[in-house]
Structure 1
Amino acid sequence: MIVGIHQPNYIPWFGFFHKMLSSDIFVILDDVLCSNKEERRNVIKGSNGMISLAIPILNKKAQIKDIEMNNQLDWKHRHIYTLQGCYQKADYWESLSPSFIDIYQHSGNKLIDFNLALIELIREHLDIKTPMIRSSEMSGVYGEKNTKIISICKSLGAEIYLSGSGAKSYMNEEAFEDNHIKVVYQHFNHPVYPQRWGTFIHNLSIVDLLFNCGPNAKQYLEKQIIV
């Protein structure tokens, strides 16, 4: 049993869905404090390079599940306009964009609901079947940081915890071993795919792949599964 855990980012990058595809169960970590960056920001590619899209929020010192978006600002229209400017001539903008735009136009005030709606739509397009649950809806989970991750893994009967490679420098692997859980670090080699606007740029939002490659997008993740 491989368990992957990740905070619910805004239109996440490739590695988020690679981890999901590589897991038997994928946990959305939504009952921790908002980092004030990753959950509400990502980058796409336009004619002049990378463009950052950031969601304005109201209550910064709160758990992710309780964060509210500042919808008094016209950010949703601006994000739609920016996405259109970057991808309207991409091969799959016309067929895929209506479902994305619908989420922007009809989402409520909660950041978690908005991000999860987009994540569900993206994983549908990528045909990812991995069960996904929210940590806030799990019972018997306790602690913070490593303790919380171990608690989640034990609750799900995990034999392997699939961790992001960036956590290797501070991961307490002995604590996992003491609980009979093996830590495996995600090995993700970013694929190169057909991309508009000149020189290829890595580590963009997954929407760059979707609008450029459409139904062929999943193959660029499938080739990279190494656990």
Structure 2
Amino acid sequence: MILAAMQPYFFPYLGYFQLAAGADHFVFLDDVAFIRRGFIHRNTILLGGQPFRFTLPVAKASQNRAISEHRFAGDAFARFLQQLRHAYRRAPHFDEAYALVESVCRPGEGVARLCADSVQAVFAHLGRGLRASFASERPSRVGGQARILELCGELHADVYHNPPGGRALYDAAAFGAHGVRLRFVHGRFPAYPQTAREDFMPGLSMIDLLMHNPPHEVARMLDLAHVEDAA
């Protein structure tokens, strides 16, 4: 069984979805510290053809508390949805993509649950299933590599997928000693036409892909990642 895990992000980029799509079970790491300048509540879209970093207000944000202990502010989404309408109103798939994003934007909701819902909603929109759970459902006293190995044991995983940035964090031999094969997932990001741009800009929020591509095309992109065994 292939396991993958990441912090819950709000409509993350394609690479996140490629990682999740390649797993049999995906764990939202909601019991780790909230990162104020990370991508949990922030991402990039196109506004006027230029990259625009949006940030959703989180009530009493603190890096001393877990993601699961945070909630979005009561007015977190009004300005963002207005920006989204202005940015993509002429995009070919605006109506369905905007409706999807709007359905997830529930003021006052817990950050971890809502961000996870944004990921799950995309998979449902694409006609794909995602078997997932929250790390906070399995309380632990360890972190880092030990925590991942603990999750692998509890969920009976014999393969663990991680983004390539994890090479410095995880030891293949330690995984092997626990009967787990460590593999790294390299995202691939095909170009597509973007409103008001001549050159393609990769790495944007999944929102940009949904605005510019039909669901079947985005679903195809989920399976383009290259998977490599750890050395």
Alignment TM-score, normalising by the size of structure 1: 0.91
* Distance in 1 separating the partners of 2:194 and 2:26: 29
Change in 2 beyond 3 A, CA 1:116/1:170: closer
Q: After alignment, is 93-102 or 212-221 more displaced? A: 93-102
Decide whether the 8 Å contact of 1:18 with 1:225 is kept in 2.
no
Matched, 1:146 2:145: yes
1:70 partner amino acid: A
1:19 partner amino acid: L
Residue 137 (structure 2) aligns with: 137
- The 5 Å alignment of 1:19-34 reads 19-34=19-34
2:138 partner amino acid: M
Change in 2 beyond 3 A, CA 1:102/1:131: closer
1:119 partner amino acid: V
> Residue 11 of structure 1: CA displacement?
1.3
* Distance in 2 separating the partners of 1:48 and 1:14: 19
Decide whether the 8 Å contact of 1:2 with 1:159 is kept in 2.
yes
Matched, 1:181 2:184: no
Q: After alignment, is 110-119 or 183-192 more displaced? A: 110-119
Residue 43 (structure 1) aligns with: 44
Q: After alignment, is 213-222 or 176-185 more displaced? A: 213-222
Residue 191 (structure 1) aligns with: 190
Q: After alignment, is 117-126 or 217-226 more displaced? A: 217-226
Matched, 1:80 2:76: no
* Distance in 1 separating the partners of 2:96 and 2:9: 24
Greater strand fraction, Structure 1 or Structure 2:
2
Residue 171 (structure 1) aligns with: 170
Decide whether the 8 Å contact of 1:142 with 1:151 is kept in 2.
no
Residue 223 (structure 2) aligns with: 222
Decide whether the 8 Å contact of 2:183 with 2:227 is kept in 1.
no
* Distance in 1 separating the partners of 2:223 and 2:196: 25
Residue 71 (structure 2) aligns with: 68
1:59 partner amino acid: A
Greater helix fraction, Structure 1 or Structure 2:
1
1:57-109 alpha-carbon deviations (Å, 9 max, x no partner): 213121011112233xx4411110111111111111112312322332x3434
1:219 partner amino acid: R
* Distance in 2 separating the partners of 1:130 and 1:59: 29
1:145-171 alpha-carbon deviations (Å, 9 max, x no partner): 110010001111111110110111232
Alignment TM-score, normalising by the size of structure 2: 0.90
For structure 2, the 5+ residue unaligned runs are: none
Residue 7 (structure 2) aligns with: 7
Q: After alignment, is 1-10 or 187-196 more displaced? A: 187-196
> Residue 225 of structure 1: CA displacement?
5.5
Q: After alignment, is 144-153 or 113-122 more displaced? A: 113-122
* Distance in 1 separating the partners of 2:154 and 2:19: 19
* Distance in 2 separating the partners of 1:107 and 1:70: 6
Residue 118 (structure 2) aligns with: 118
Decide whether the 8 Å contact of 2:30 with 2:67 is kept in 1.
yes
1:180-203 alpha-carbon deviations (Å, 9 max, x no partner): 111101122222122222121110
Structure 1 residue ranges, 4+ long, deviating more than 3 angstroms after superposition: 223-227
For structure 1, the 5+ residue unaligned runs are: none
Across the aligned residues of Structure 1 and Structure 2, the Cα RMSD in angstroms comes to: 1.7
* Distance in 2 separating the partners of 1:127 and 1:194: 23
1:41-65 alpha-carbon deviations (Å, 9 max, x no partner): 1101122411011122213121011
* Distance in 2 separating the partners of 1:148 and 1:70: 30
* Distance in 2 separating the partners of 1:39 and 1:19: 16
